[in-house]
Amino acid sequence: MSNMTRFFPSNDLSRMQREFDRLFNDFFPATTPAEGNGKRSWIPSVDLSETKDAYKVHLDAPGIAKEDITINYHDGVLTVSGERKSEEKTEETNYVRLERSFGSFYRSFNLPTAVKADAIKANYKDGVLDIEVPKKEEVKPIRVKVG
């Protein structure tokens, strides 16, 4: 009789998934409102786009006061950070489920350094932050007509 080792890829993948989950949970522990004050890092969704004239950032940040949002640009890196503050809980309220997360966020985006940093515009309306980073003239595409 020979000793055969059977290979079960699904078992190995499941074990690897559990190890990754444990690793990430050790480095980035999630805090829920039941485990403390409910503050934790959260990541707002972002859409990045490019037009011929500018780079655009469209960031969902509902529940954040515009005074709690900071935008910085330095050496080709656009950084957006802020904090969504938790609401005051009252003793009369009996929460059945709490899913909204509160706390700070930090997002950085590498952009080409050929932008007009002094002309960056930001607008915050209805929980959506729109940032426009204009390109310098030398990086705008030029259309050449074929003669």
String of b and e for 54-77 (b: at least 16 CB within 10 Å)? Answer: bbebebebeebeeeebebebeeee
SS3 (DSSP) at 45: coil
Sketch the domain layout of the chain as residue ranges. Answer: 36-139
Q: pTM for this one?
A: 0.64
Mean pLDDT, rounded, for 16-33: 66
Q: What is the pLDDT of residues 78-130, one digit of tens each?
A: 999 998 877 666 667 776 776 677 788 889 999 887 899 999 999 999 999 99
More confident residue, 6 or 66: 66
Which CATH code fits 36-139? 2.60.40.790
